[in-house]
Structure 1
Amino acid sequence: MAPSLLILTDFFLAATRALDYATNLAGPLGARLVLLHVRRDSVLDPEMFTGSLSNLNKEAIALALSSIAGNLSVPVVAEVGHGRVAYAVADAVSRHHPTLVVLGRPDTEATPDELVSTTALDMLRTAPYPMLVVPHNMPTTRPPRRVLLAVDGEPFSLGQHAGAIRHLLAALHAEVTVLHVTETATAAESAAAALEIVQRTGLTTDLVSPVRTLSITAPAPAEAILQVARPADYDLVVLIARPRSFLGELFHHSVTAQVVLHSAVPVLVLPAV
């Protein structure tokens, strides 16, 4: 079966950016798209997907999905879910087993992090799965090639997702730079240790370009990652998110959350097992 990418859409700008980006990813991967719209029909729905909810009726939603699917250059199926987004996505994932869940990040820069409750963050807490978050103001939708892989210096495993992510990086002909932000170790020691950890996972096994390393000393890892991951230098940031990153009460203060909320380039979050 061909791989698939699950795209979450509410027909607003951020979702359109994410769909464009996913369509360009699908080509190199030979993937089909699963387009999912979730009707937010719960009166207790606490989420904020785009800052304003789509209130289209069933007929309008069906027409919009059909129009979008008809204009795409890759195979696509469209579905409508109901209720809380995170649970609807988990249901779709269980049936389609996509390589990634792709969604747009709305404009929340004027809102304090503690008050932001985006779909991406809620999904990480509810059903962690490889997730690509595309900023609403992405200037380009070409497939990413310059990849910044940020690691924390501790061994990790991606479990069942390792093979699919390795294939993704190879299909994109990715030029990977492994970044480790440290407070104490020397740059040379830190870079070598971080590279060895990544190589053990097999993620970089099929890459043609040599993997580069970068180690910087900084007290705040999230800020350091955001400073390095400039659009002029990188097309994609990859984060390894451990369970403690999205299960704790202070999730909004985690490195994962801060980078997802503020990165100028798309962020691929890979939950470690």
Structure 2
Amino acid sequence: MNPSFVVLVNLSAAAEQAARYAAVLGAPLHVHLELVNVYQAPLLSSELAFVPMPYFPQMQTEAAEALQELAHRLPASAEATMLTAAMPDAVQEAIARYHPLLLAMSLSPEHDVLDYLLHNHVLPVLRATHRPLLLVPETSLPTGLPRRVLVAVDGEYFALNAPALALAPLLASWGAAFSVVHVRPTSSGPERSGDYEQLGGPLRKLLPTAEPLALHDDAGNNSAAGVLAALAETQADLLILLARPRSFLGRLFHGSVTAQVLRGCPVPVLLLPAEAPDQPDYLPRMS
């Protein structure tokens, strides 16, 4: 049985672009795409106030037909499913059905829309699953497998969970060059010998090549800007970020580095769930 991706879609061009990119990333492993539309009955508004209730099932049927047409247009094996539960419940149902390697969705470049998507879609998905999540900006136009992948880590030691580590064969199948960078404020001071070696250790189980951990100091104390600068410097066409449920989810709208990077990132972003490791020899935050 081939592995699968779950792609959260609507009927927009951006959603189709995200599904096409997911098909490209999964092609080396013959990944099957499960297109999942989380359908909710439209709320009454100025535009829908005069739509008779009997038309809502018809609208749902038309949406389902459009999703099937999208599945047929993709360059990969794909099926479409419409779920009517709340987003976290629908995502959990999709995972129970398909056991995907990752979930994927598109992101809008407009800040108001992006905030809405982060709050109403990304946040529930990460809370509900702690699964890898691929985010494809609407403005990016990736057409092939990534050639250079940048993995950005922060100043906290971490452990990757089982769903994140399960992506190792997929990442290896791309044949890409992987770079690992740690972006820190310059005010954080010198690091002890071996800190970066230990910080990058968990990635050895995930990445196909053992790259040295490069240090990017950020004089402006803006880690998000540092990540984007490293992205430009390495000319990477895919960015991998760590997402900790307690820190990332709790501070998503309060200046978190991840949210700032998503707002300015021109390439697709793969969020990997990370937890604080249990081993006592790991230290807490370094900076």
Tell me the TM-score normalized by structure 1. 0.83
Over 3 Å counting, the alpha-carbon distance change for 1:191 and 1:37 in structure 2 is: farther
Structure 1 residue ranges without an equivalent (≥5): 45-54
Q: For each residue in 1:50-91, what CA deviation from the matched residue of structure 2 results, as whole angstroms up to 9, or x when unmatched?
A: xxxxx8712212221221222223221211011433331222
Over 3 Å counting, the alpha-carbon distance change for 1:269 and 1:251 in structure 2 is: same
Contact 1:245 1:251 in 2 (8 A): no
Which residues of 2 match residues 203-222 of structure 1 at below 5 A?
203-204=205-206, 206-207=208-209, 211-218=211-218, 219-222=221-224
Over 3 Å counting, the alpha-carbon distance change for 1:79 and 1:271 in structure 2 is: same
**1:202 equivalenced with 2:170 (yes/no):** no
**1:234 equivalenced with 2:221 (yes/no):** no
Aligned match of 2:20: 20
Q: Distance in 2 between matches of 1:115 and 1:27?
A: 27
Q: Return the match for 1:98 from 97, 100, 108.
A: 100
Q: Distance in 2 between matches of 1:21 and 1:252?
A: 30
Over 3 Å counting, the alpha-carbon distance change for 1:57 and 1:93 in structure 2 is: same
**1:62 equivalenced with 2:59 (yes/no):** no
**1:2 equivalenced with 2:2 (yes/no):** yes
Structure 2 residue ranges without an equivalent (≥5): 45-55, 276-287
Paired letter, 2:216: I
Cα offset for 1:119?
A: 1.8
Paired letter, 1:198: G
Tell me the TM-score normalized by structure 2. 0.79
**How many aligned residue pairs are there?**
259
Name the % identity. 35
Over 3 Å counting, the alpha-carbon distance change for 1:122 and 1:223 in structure 2 is: farther
Paired letter, 2:217: T
Q: Distance in 2 between matches of 1:91 and 1:191?
A: 46
Aligned match of 1:41: 41
Contact 2:136 2:267 in 1 (8 A): yes
Rg larger for: 2
Cα offset for 1:109?
A: 3.5
Cα offset for 1:136?
A: 0.2
Pairwise CA RMSD:
2.9
Aligned match of 2:91: 89
Paired letter, 2:39: R
Cα offset for 1:231?
A: 9.2
